[in-house]
Structure formats: structure tokens, C-alpha cells
Structure 1
Amino acid sequence: MAYLKPPWFTAKIFNKAAMAFGIGGATTLTVTTRGTRQPQQIPVVVPEVHGIKYLVSTRGESEWVRNVRADPNVKLGDVGFVATEVPVDQRAPIIAAYRPLAGKVVEGYWKKLPDDADHPVFALTPAR
């Protein structure tokens, strides 16, 4: 699978600021890492389509994607959800809703990874 590694500044500085201040409408996604079972936090923009919230990976097969596949119990802020991966053939309308919310910064990712298969998408169901 394809993956676009974020530059150092994005990973170490911008992502922390985005989570702290909600830059660009970001909220904090917390997942459990596969190896250490420690929390991993990243900023995400969450589109809602037909009343369902979704996670979209702009950079492809990222660590958070692999972590969600290993343990689908995630949190957005303080709210728990169970993530279910969306099949590739059902991703287009979700990605179409996501891209305007995320802004121009993500357009470069789609130029480098143009196929919907390159962007894992997860539907979020409230945890019980």
C-alpha cells in the first residue's frame, strides 16, 4: 500500500497545534498502538455522510490506519467509537465529502495518490 510520510514539522509541531486548537476543524483521534498498546493521537477532520461519521486517511497506509485495523476501538475527543473499514468501491462519496472539509492542503495528496484504494476510510459507530 502507498504511504506519504509527513515532513518533520507536520509530525512534530503542526499536528500538536492542530489538536490543541482545532486548526482546520481538526479533532483528536486516539487509537491504541499495535506494539506498545499505548495511545497514539493525531488530528483528523471527520466528515459526516448520511448521519455516519468517517475517518479518512489522506496519506494512505499510515500507522494510525494499521493501528485501527488491529484495534478498532477509537476515540474522537472523549467519545468512544468502533471503526469499520469501508470497501474501496464505497469510498468515493465519503472522500468527496471529506476533501472540501480538509481544505486545499490535502489536494496534493490526491495528486500523488489518486486512487480511492490508496485512502483507507473507516465508518464510526458509537461504542456501547
Structure 2
Amino acid sequence: MSTQTHYIRPNRFDSALNNAIGWLARHGVSLMGSQQLSVLGRSSGEWRSIPVNPLSHGGETYLVSARGHSQWVRNLRAAGGGRLRLGRRTRPFTAVELPDAEKPALLRDYLERWGWEVGRFFGEVNADSTDEELLAAAHRHPVFRVTVTG
């Protein structure tokens, strides 16, 4: 499998859980920091939404794709930004994808906070992995630095 196509599709349970977490986020309830990400579809031009866990690290906000090069990742690459929503508060943002070399510390922080939820998508890598192990897995997990614009 090429690094650009690494993607773990959600199963029915995951889809149902995402729908529930997204519904909660739209209604102002965040589970462990979850928010709803909306990005314009690269083909349809319509807004596409999914719950995400924005990561605060070093005073900045990041989006990490635990499942790999998912549809929201591909749409975000094309759109260059989107919206994060929690309840009535919607924050537009721009996003810059990080190179693999900048990801190990972010992946570690992400796994420390949400490993219980997303660890199965990282294979053998976890929060206790070495920087070298995290770097070796980095190509499978896109990371974006988010800058709120509104």
C-alpha cells in the first residue's frame, strides 16, 4: 500500500459513533475535546463534516488523521482550510500540512491524550514509542497546523 493511500475505513460501529459524536459537537457537547470539522468537498464543492480531536501543542492547534489519508484529509489539502464547530461557535481556519520530520512529538502527544480511542489505527506505535518509531509511522498519519482566521 502506498503511503499516499494508507487509509483505514470506518466500520459500521465507527460510523455510528462518529455520527453520535458529531451530533453532540454540533449541540455544544465535546467529548474529550472533540469538535466537528467541516471542509468543502474537493469534487462536490459541498461541505463535508466529521468529528475530530484538535490537538493543542506549543500554543498552536493541530489536526491529526489517525486513520491515514482519509477523505477529510484529501479535502483539506484541496481546500486549504475549513471550519471547526462546537455548538454555536464556528471558527474558520486555514491549514498547513506538516512534513513527517515535524510529526513525532505531535503524534506522541496525540496518542497520550487519545490513544485509548485511536490507538488501533497506529499499529505498533503508541505514546511510549521512540522518536524514530514515530517518525517511521509519520507518513501514514497526516498532520495539519490550524490557524483560526475568524
Settle same-fold status: TM greater than 0.5: yes
Taking every aligned residue pair, what percent have the same amino acid on both sides? Answer: 31
Output the aligned Cα RMSD.
1.6
- 1:112 Cα shift? 6.6
- Equivalent residue for 1:14? 17
- Equivalent residue for 2:104? 92
The separation in 1 between residues aligned to 2:124 and 2:52, in whole angstroms, is 20
The one-letter code matched in structure 1 to 2:108 is A
Q: TM-score, normalised by structure 1?
A: 0.91
Secondary structure at 2:123 match in 1: helix
- 1:60 Cα shift? 0.4
Q: Mapping of 1:59-98 within 5 angstroms?
A: 59-77=67-85, 78-98=90-110
Call closer, same or farther: CA 1:112–1:34 in 2, change over 3 Å: farther
Q: Is 2:141 the counterpart of 1:119?
A: yes
- 1:103 Cα shift? 3.6
Secondary structure at 1:111 match in 2: coil
Q: Would you say the 8 A contact 1:47–1:53 is kept in 2?
A: yes
Deviations 1:6-38 (A, max 9, x none): 102322x21111122233431100101011111
Return the structure number with greater relative CO, CA threshold 8 A, min gap 6: 1
- Equivalent residue for 1:107? 119
Q: Which runs of 5+ in 2 are unaligned?
A: 25-29, 126-135
Call closer, same or farther: CA 1:3–1:112 in 2, change over 3 Å: farther
The separation in 1 between residues aligned to 2:114 and 2:48, in whole angstroms, is 21
Aligned residues: 127
